[in-house]
A and B are shown apart, each in its own frame.
Chain A
């Protein structure tokens, strides 16, 4: 390959990209700095990318205040892994079925699917449904309700629509079953979109805490990291009780939730951030298809 010339456009592009890096990185560094800064000192503001009075105290506060944190971390990882794998399987299977033009009930099934994107049952009916299904305090409550998400299915389906039909036809001629076609042709070709949707699923599994609160909080072994962090966060904030209890002065003088909040943010985000590099390569590769000659 010939060495290309470094044009003015490249310079502008480089500066622009550097700008983007700074803009995206700064908030994160800022959060890190605040989380490592002395809680009282944080009130004075003016913190940027370096802590002014370095301390681990905020992290110590979080880890000392809750002995369930490690178990909850494990539960979060488990639900993320299991939820993502099962979720992606269910979504791709349905998406493939819907992408087949010879599927007779394509219209009605798509309609039922799409309608859930616009109308939801609401919190209380959902709660009652989960209870009637016997999913309360059961690990499956993290998995089953999140198995299918209309948006994800449609994303995968649109991608599969782009896979030439000639591929499946030729496989069929070679004697492959539908399941073989799905497993050996469709899935490998859909890796980019699978990676994308896996990321959606993993992030939403990792971040969700409200379902723990609603359905699983009485089983202590099932609480997740986000739920436990939420409880710690609640503790750092002044409640109406503190304000009216006559203890308000004491409480006001000693809590500065901002630093603790930021430490919680770091603990909650770093593990899931680590997933991104592993999925990155799929975003680049898969796009070079071209298996059919026209």
Chain B
């Protein structure tokens, strides 16, 4: 027995060493191949170049779909795509520590670290010399790509659409279609009207499908507090979405948003809703799964949420034949005279983009690839796919094949398999409102498509109001001012700065105190709110406002929008 053990052990050791040797061989073999690739490229042959591309938002994907093949054909580039598996934050620091960079990097907020470490190159000269498509795409907004006032170079291109539009507003209050039907399709524009609609329906139907009706449910138990509790207040006050900030678009003066009176007013109303029993008492304790399952049973009359957060519930409602329980977004504001900003155009957001590394052996190739994607031909390719395979041109207009469109909306793997739509984000892109030289939409999601995707119950409700889309309910984009600083949540805040520290403290205070105030007895609300303002004051919110104002004003100066 003992002997057997030692024999086993020896075998194990031998096996181990053999395996280790194998491992070495294969990696060496790999690098050999790379070398030969490089050599052949230098000799000027037409062999496509392999470029590595790291995307912090990427996913597992090989560059072999029809769209990718077409891209290789046009640009001579094959992408090897990599991404941080499991969403680790350490990917970029590790890259810097190792000193080995992929050719192209999409690092989001970590770009500043790469710039500091000298890991990425300035693109200004290349844009000037060979970036005609990028120049044409960004136009005047190209200044928005610049890094900072101290170092106004351009290190990155891409990510957000240059010319976007909102076709499916969400994020603010959404009400069940059946409530609108029951009440004879009333106009609901203010909080008061919204509340009375909910009350009336609730009194008529205290139960739906045998379960207790919930007039309004929020999801304030995790990070979604910011989405369903904090942000709706801003929408209702008629402010655009600037994250935790309120920015005066004329002057650039910035404040921590919760100190504004509009917020007090909104949360006072929410406190009243709670006192009247109209707010789901579990709003701040239930998990996301419970929240979704409540909505899926059709007994939640209204939510204040983004569509992407309640998508599961929507599918479940459709699947169980309760289309009349789907939601309609409402342009509800505090009182008449305020404008809901759901359709606001923030302009090109700048901030994030794809950079080219300093260790890349083919920076020009990488740049040309990005520039090609920014061309009209490139944009049509990444949005619509390959002509004849994914769409055809009928009477000079692009028409997507029915089966392609069907698969795009039903088969979760189709975008990856076909490449249609896969190379839009985070590459440079024209945006959802852009049109090509013939006046056709670059995006495949046109107004007509969104209309076609609506369920029957939604179409019927829209008909009753004489509208085509929910967007018709909201103030149109050209009624709203264009933002001079993009969106404040896109502004990168220096790590370890006072802003970061104080904001963290302020966010902790507001999340806790506002929740408390909402659930308190209405008589106590004002006292609690004042107490919170005092706490914010003590936490240094005044300094926070000053520092953030400076940051916003710097951005405006850099962008030339002040």
Contact = CB atoms under 8 A, between A and B. Distances in A.
A218 B2 CA distance: 40
Interface in A201-223: 209-210, 213-214, 217-219, 221-222
Given A137-B27, A140-B20, A253-B311, A124 B93 contact: yes
B30 A41 contact: no
B425 A138 contact: no
A43 B426 contact: no
In this complex, the interface size class of chain B, counting residues with CB under 8 Å from chain A, is 35 or more
A40 B410 contact: no
A247 B308 CA distance: 10
Contacts of A183: 2, 5-6
Contact of B85 (A143, A231, A245): A231
Contacts of B93: 124
Contacts of A231: 59-60, 85
A7 B297 CA distance: 49
Interface string B87-121: 11010011001100000000000000000000000
A176 interface: no
Nearest to A213: B85
Given A43-B316, A245-B424, A248-B307, A254 B412 contact: yes
A44 B320 contact: yes
Interface stretch (B147-155, B193-201, B286-294): B286-294
A209 B59 CA distance: 17
B88 A82 contact: no
Contacts of B22: 139
A128 B96 CA distance: 11
Given A213-B88, A231-B60, A250-B408, A128 B314 contact: no
A222 B23 CA distance: 8
B334 interface: no
B19 interface: yes
Interface in B279-314: 289-290, 292-293, 296-297, 307-314
Nearest to A241: B57
B425 A241 contact: yes
Contacts of B415: 247
Contacts of A136: 27
Contacts of A235: 59-60
A164 interface: no
A234 B20 contact: no
A85 interface: yes
A46 B293 CA distance: 8
A140 B23 CA distance: 8
Given A82-B15, A243-B308, A43 B20 contact: no
A237 B12 CA distance: 40
Contacts of B443: 246
B168 interface: yes
Contact of A246 (B5, B84, B161): B161
Most chain A CB within a 10 A radius of its CB, from B85, B90, B93: B85
B86 A127 contact: no
A124 B100 CA distance: 14
A122 to B, nearest CB: 10
Contacts of A250: 408-409
A230 B59 CA distance: 11
A251 interface: yes
Nearest to A45: B293
B425 to A, nearest CB: 4
Contacts of A41: 316, 319
B94 A214 contact: yes
B85 A230 contact: yes
Contacts of A82: 12, 15-16, 19
Given A40-B312, A44-B316, A253-B314, A137 B293 contact: no
Interface in B302-340: 307-316, 319-320
Contacts of B320: 44
A244 B312 CA distance: 18
A184 interface: yes
Contacts of A45: 289-290, 292-293, 296
Contacts of B310: 252
A44 B24 contact: no
B497 interface: no
B45 interface: no
A239 B83 CA distance: 12
B421 A219 contact: no
A149 interface: no
Interface string A118-137: 00000110011001001011
B504 interface: no
Question: Which 7 pairs between the two chains have the least Cβ-Cβ distance?
Answer: A252-B311, A45-B293, A43-B312, A138-B23, A241-B57, A245-B425, A44-B296
16 contacts: A40-B316, A43-B312, A85-B12, A89-B9, A138-B27, A209-B85, A218-B30, A221-B26, A234-B60, A241-B57, A246-B164, A252-B308, A253-B311, A253-B409, A254-B410, A256-B312
